[in-house]
Amino acid sequence: MSQRTPLRPLARILDARARGENPDLIERDNIRARGEAGREAARARVAWRIGLVIGIFCVCFGAVGVRMGTLAASTPEEPQRADTAPVIMAQRADITDREGRVLATNLVTHALYAQPPMMVDPVGTAKKLAKIFPDLDAKRLAADFTGSRKFVWIKKKISPEQLQLVHDIGEPGLLFGPREMRLYPNGRLAAHVLGGARFGNEGVDSAEIVGTAGVEKAFDGWLRDPANNGAPLKLSIDLTVQQAVEEILAGGMKLMNAKGATAVVMEAHTGEIIAMASLPDFDPNDRPAPLAKGDASDSPLFNRAVQGVYELGSTFKIFAVAQALELGLVNPTTMLDTKSPMVWGRFRIRDFHNYGPALSITDIVVESSNVGTARIALLIGGQRQKAFLESLGFMAPTPVELSEANSGRPIVPAKWSEITSMTVGYGHGLAASPLHLAAAYATIANGGYKVKPTLVHAATHEKGPQVMSTEAAKTALAMMRAVVTRGTASFADVPGYEVAGKTGTADKVKPGGGYYDNKVIATFASAFPASDPKYILVLSLDEPSSFAANETRRTAGWTAVPVAAEVIRRIAPILGMRPADSVPEVLDGIQLVKAAKSH
């Protein structure tokens, strides 16, 4: 503690009196000095406090500036909810075709719900909502609004126009929840490939979109995975080819009076599916409910290309011939007995026409002889035949990326007896899907290499195992070309595109066993161009019937083949194929066509 200086120090007073000075001046000087010292101390304290305040402000503003700089330099992130409710993932990746054209995307929309305690006129509001949404029941809504419920879902998604009409009601108890919905901008196009989506977990502010069928379901996890950074799922489908195939298939189905139809266009070397159509179809934007009873194939949801398991008739004959060529059992000019009927125990195998006592292997394919193919199957033997068909994929569901693929399991004979081997050789007794057939024909067309059907577009593909020699495959392909130029598929000889193929007409199996007398599955399986096959087309009609040449025709040569020819004529230019130098036969503006053989 500092000592205070006295205002009248005795020594100084005595000294002042000795010098004759006034001692009172000493007190006044001390009072003035003491006051100046106090003022200096006060000034120092004020200056220190001001400096402290300035320092605090500098630190605070500096911290704010640093934080703002950090935020400006960082990647924006969505704010997280503070509660513990589960997060609903609404974002879903787009689906495009091989050229990047959108097949499925998301659309911002709203859900409509009500909080009855907040409603002013619940009964009147129910009536007004029923006018905006005719599918709603005004009485049911009124009961919900006037009861004990605190929350009522009204519509899971509404259009902007409907949203405005609901706004105009002016009811404070009607509320909107923003969300995304799945949109298929092309409507019915490629419906069975895409499948569809629905809402999964739902909240007021968002809803989860989950796949229900097709690639939407098969790739559901991938489409919802944020790690993909919004990258689209690129399918092998070509939108323009798909459109052409569906349009022609619908016209052909109507012209041939068929109850259903399907077509698959596939790359012969990669297995990529360029188009896949099944009729009747549906709009995935408004996916119908599955059938509660009856035949599943009667539903528009049924994918005939993958789920439809049929006996595919004479389209199978080329497999028996190709295997016999591979084993060295025959060559194209080998002659076999084709006298009809062929008697085997209690069974009789007949041909559609009497082809004489013998035919070459080539003509057995061209004329589509059941008897000749049965004899080839006997040369091969049941176990070798079964193993070969298994190597082509006919013993298991196709591995295509569709949720429905597993339901398309082939129906295989329980025992592989000699008669079974003969009937399977010409396409009866073993049932498979059109997609199975397309993949097997691709194996012949590409030189004998097995392909894996796929709906995903990829830059490269691994070559599958070789299941037959290139020489055997080329010989079989040449026979298929002869089927078009002078056999049962003459209507498929599209000028400039060298179509090779095989017809198949199989009686439909009755649900209780046996076969219908007047219902068939007519199929044409083809490859083009035959000199260097690039594409496979398999087209089937379910129960076709056409009146031509003064009689009712059901065989593939008269039904499936003309439709397939028109498909090839339309899609080949879209696929970048230029026709070979040829001039169609035209007389007075009418194009001439060759008469088709019936089979």
Active site residues: 314
Distance of CA 332 to the CA centre of its chain: 42
Alpha carbons 51 and 47: distance in angstroms, whole number: 6
| In contact, 427 and 246? CB cutoff 8 Å | no
> Helices 434-445 and 317-326: crossing angle, nearest 10°?
30
Cα–Cα distance for residue pair 539/522, rounded to 1 Å:
8
Q: Which of 134, 117, 135, 131 is nearest to 171 (CA)?
A: 117
Q: In what order do the strands lie in the sheet with 535-542?
A: 273-279, 260-267, 535-542, 515-528, 500-509
Paired sense of beta strands 358-360 and 431-432, if any = unpaired
- What angle in degrees, to the nearest 10, is found between the helix axes of 10-18 and 24-73? 130
DSSP type of residue 104:
E
Cis amide prior to 529 (ω within 30 degrees): yes
Rounded CA-CA distance 586/572 in Å is 21
The radius of gyration computed from the CA coordinates of the chain, to the nearest angstrom, equals 42
- Tell whether omega for the bond before 172 is within 30 degrees of 0, i.e. cis: no
From residue 175, give the alpha-carbon distance in Å to each of 110, 112, 119, 269, 346.
10, 6, 11, 55, 76
Count of CB atoms within 10 A of residue 351's CB? 23
Residue 120 has φ and ψ, to the nearest 5°, of -90, -45
- Count CB atoms within 10 A of the CB of residue 450: 19
